[in-house]
Amino acid sequence: MGGVLMRAVWLKEFGGPEVLVPGEAPDPVPGEGQVLVAVEFVNITFVETQMRAGAGPGPVRVEPPVIPGNGVGGVVAAVGPGVDRGLAGRRVVSSTGGSGAYAELAVVDAAGLFEVPDGLALDDAVALLADGRTATMMLNAVRPRPRERVLVEAAAGGVGTLLVQLAKAAGAEVVAAVGSARKAEVALGLGADEAVDYAEPGWAEASEAVDVVLDGVGGEVAREAFTLVRRGGRMVSFGLSSGEWAGVPEEDAAERGVTLVRATATPEELREFTLSALAEAAAGRLRPLIGQRFPLDGAADAHRAIQSRATVGKTLLEVRRPS
């Protein structure tokens, strides 16, 4: 960009989607160990809608006024002191550290960059930045075995659509738990063997037992899903789109012989999970579903769509189209 001001979206106060206001901000300048990314796509997560409302689960917190957003993809436009100048012009995706993503330019730490593999579109790479890492980590935590029945909650969402594919690749029988008939079609189209609608009363009672639950919803849906897990099975939680975690008591799990898996990872392991997802996608074995795209100035509309449960797959902001 040639000017000293860039387009950005500001969070001036906590509240509904309408508090995301388009505006301008000074062009950021990369410091020691940093690079400047000319942003083309921004990754939006459900957690960001909670943070915007002032109710984020942590650990990252933001304080208005701030440019929100935590994941970008674009081209390295400039490098700061101590950074390999050969990075200039490279296609990259990166976390911003919790804020600064909803803008035309973003400064990020060079050490946290992921170069986009050849053959992988930049928008697909951005879609995998957070969700690919999470899905790979969750599957690694429960390690489904061939022919085990695996229930994936929120199976038409950003993480869920990837979990369906990864669990199928591991040889599992995948049950997609979704909130509408449309979302059931999405999950089945990605390889799920069957689908159940958790918006229907009594859905769990009408379902067969499973060996693994991958919980992306939390709340009552997760607690009902827990009742389906066979003795010796596992359950791991990766999301709380219901607004609360599953809250399954450890003593209930022990009584039923179910392991509540706590997925943890070092920063190095998290990086490897992201690299694995990007490599699998570049090889054609994993396909992120980008269900909806909004312009940068439409960030509020993107948040509304996510909160309304109308979205499928990943939601991206398009900042500028690749040349």
pLDDT of 3 over the 60 cut? no
Which CATH number covers residue 245?
Answer: 3.40.50.720
Residue 85 and residue 157 in one domain: no
Residue 34 within any structural domain of the chain? yes
Do 151 and 33 lie in a common domain?
no
Give pLDDT, residue 240.
81
- Residue pLDDT, tens place only, 29-60: 999 999 999 999 999 998 899 999 998 666 55
Residue 322 has pLDDT above 50, yes or no: no
Asked whether residue 323 is domain-assigned, the answer is no
Residue 242, pLDDT score: 79
Q: How far apart are CA 136 and CA 236, in angstroms?
A: 13
- The average pLDDT across 276-298 equals 98
> Per-residue pLDDT tens for 197-252?
999 999 999 999 999 999 999 999 999 999 999 999 999 999 888 778 899 999 99
Q: Within this chain, do residues 187 and 227 fall inside the same structural domain, yes or no?
A: yes
Q: Which residue has the higher pLDDT, 62 or 48?
A: 48
Query: What is the reported pTM?
Result: 0.94
Residue, of 139 and 245, whose pLDDT is higher: 139
User: Which CATH number is 104's domain given?
Assistant: 3.90.180.10
Domain residues for 98? 5-115+289-318
- What pLDDT is stored for residue 58 in this prediction? 60
pLDDT at 300 over 60: yes
